[in-house]
Amino acid sequence: MKHGILQFSSYFSMLLHFWSFSLVFSGGEEIVERHLLVDGFADDSDTVVRLIPPNGRETFDTSDTRIWVVDHSTIRSEYVAAMLVAPFLVTSLSLDSKDSGKNVLGIGLGGGSFDMALHKMKLQVNITIVELDPVVVDIAQSWFGVMESKNHHVIVDDGLKFVEKASKSGVKFDVIVLDACDEAIKSPCPPATFRNKNVIEMMKGVLTPTGVFFKVNVILTCVPYSISNIRQQLNFYNSRLATIAEKFKFAKLLERVSLV
């Protein structure tokens, strides 16, 4: 049951208007979350993260949640859980090895829940996130615990132009995540500029032979190889999904996820 809400900040950019707030659920354990909402998409939170008090003892009512720590190890969103599972499902990332030197590209940052969680899972994987709006980067770094590190970088740039430069320079990625939207009313995600054959072919061209490209809204996974026996492959994916969900403790979050 929702126990309290504290709205603490509002951001304007040339692209969107963002609201960030904290809320707490009671019912046994007190769970405090921070949410990012975007005007025009207020039915769902763009990002949800769990907050942990600095000393482990403070509560929502006795402490200022602005100083609480973001817990990137606890996933609060079905959507983010599905995004994290996708590259492991098609074995672009391994459940058993460190995947040292592998490269992940994310287009669109939001609150950084996906990429920071993956960074904690895979410290040796190089993760680059490209975000068009500098205000989004400010929000993610100020309120959602997004940090730069040796293998995690956020770049303010146009995602499509970044991929075009990668294509020309021969850079390859093991995982590409398209998690961006435009301002279209009917179909904002992914942006219209990414929904054409030439761009999809270019995305395919910057993948490694075992790489994967997946996009926002419906987790659509594209691999640069053909599948001869679709039914057999789906059976394999469903079995592997159960294994991954159990390993990552996502079983409850992913109970409504279907592979088609």
Collapsed DSSP state (helix, strand, coil) of residue 158 = coil
Residue in 88, 79, 85 with CA at minimum distance from that of residue 108? 79
Q: CB within 8 A of 180, min separation 6: which ones?
A: 107, 108, 132, 159, 189, 190, 191, 194, 216
Measured CA to CA, the distance from residue 104 to residue 85 in angstroms comes to 14
Residue 182 designated active-site: no
Measured CA to CA, the distance from residue 154 to residue 148 in angstroms comes to 7
Measured CA to CA, the distance from residue 175 to residue 196 in angstroms comes to 20
Measured CA to CA, the distance from residue 233 to residue 82 in angstroms comes to 18
Measured CA to CA, the distance from residue 121 to residue 23 in angstroms comes to 26
Annotated active-site residue in 99, 115, 174, 179: 179
Dihedral Cα 104, 227, 167, 80, nearest 10 deg? -30
- Residues annotated catalytic, as ranges: 179
